[in-house]
Amino acid sequence: MKRNGFALPLAIAIMVAVSIIAVTALQVATSDFQANRATRLATQALFAADAGAERTVARWGSGPFGTLAPGDSVSTGWISLPDGSSYLSVILRVDDGMGAVPLYRVVTEGRPSRRSQARRRIITMVTGGVGGAACCGAAVKIVGDLTIRSSGRGGGRRGRGTPDPQADGRDQAPTAWSSYCPTPSPSLPGVAIDRSEHLDLQHGATVDGSPPVLEDGSLDATLTDAIGGTTYDALAADADIELGWRDRTLRGSVGPSARHGECDTSDNQNWGAPLDPVSACWDYLPVIHATGDLEIDAHGEGQGTLLVDGDLTITGAFDFYGIVVVKGELVMEGSATITGTLLVGNGPSGSGSSEIRDDAAVQYSSCATARVAGRAGGARFLAGRHWFEVP
């Protein structure tokens, strides 16, 4: 029996079988790799969405979320995370505005990288983080005597020929904050006071707002106790900067400071960077607590929540953005300004006397108070299961 030529067909058959097995194994490996890669990217996208939701709430005060009216929404835009992934959050206020605490729906989409098509989206429910009107109700809210005395020099702070109101309840966004602030809110009173006869306007001093002066007989010295969904004592207990008797007078310069590119929060005269949105200290909104009287005889600027157990005196060219709460009496002079809101108790019985004089002024800003209220008032996830994933 002749077997010539049998070896070659057998070799070819074996080679074909091995090739089929190799191709099949390669296809299975490729399919497994793609499936594992897709799973890994989808997981990274979910982690990015979850981290984005957490960061949105943690940095609530950095955006205009606290000033949203019921039904309004705003987007954060795409924001990068340290691992290269990114997220985008859309915040919608869903309550009707009738309750004491607002409610928000936050839709956060995550992606592992700009080149990847993987996307995961989650919805979280957030409460708190109230805005300026809910926080304080006026540019200046005070019990007891308040004297506002103009310098009488004219040429107001906005360059007009007449002095600007020294207590102004018309909502205004700080300079360079336009991209962080929504449409201005309705005007608040320039001054809310327990009895209108306690307000003394001298040398042509004016106030503005809606109304310019509101008499509120319910006000007493406890008006400084509640601040935007939290309390004075709770904020003081968790203060970022504590000023004791050694720090009763701040001199020199108050302003942002950084170390190795990071905001130096160990510096007691670093009160954030309200004038520079790209600064490392832009998001630093400290709670500053003075345990007694405080005199700010310095130049510069700060932001956050300033709590003063005793009397507060601000002189010179110092600007503060946010919420200022004074248990005792207040004196503002020179060109000092507060952009946000001011609460003054005028002592334990509310029988003290405070002054705003020269070119000093308090300008109401819902945006400034909302940034601070988001930090102080505590935007937080709704109790229970506060998030779920959507397609």
Question: How confident is the prediction for the chain on average, in pLDDT?
Answer: 84
Q: What is the pLDDT of residues 303-332, one digit of tens each?
A: 999 999 999 999 888 999 999 999 999 999
Report d(CA 71, CA 82) in Å as an integer: 33
Q: What is the pLDDT of residues 350-379, one digit of tens each?
A: 899 999 999 999 999 988 887 776 555 567
DSSP code string of 261-282: TEE-TT-TT----TT-TTSTTT
| 156 has a pLDDT exceeding 60 | no
| 203 has a pLDDT exceeding 90 | no
Q: What is the pLDDT of residues 220-253, one digit of tens each?
A: 888 888 776 678 888 888 889 999 877 788 888 8
**Helix %, strand %, coil % of the chain (to 5):** 25, 35, 45
Position 150 scores a pLDDT of: 87
CA distances from 276 to 52, 98, 255, 281, 314 (A): 24, 35, 11, 8, 22
Distance from the Cα of residue 291 to its chain's centroid? 25
The residue ranking higher by pLDDT, 57 or 338, is 338
Task: Decide: helix, strand or coil at residue 245.
Answer: helix
Domain ranges of the chain: 1-127, 132-376
**pTM for the model:** 0.70
H-helix or E-strand spanning residue 383: none
CA distances from 268 to 154, 195, 233, 242, 256 (A): 36, 38, 20, 8, 10
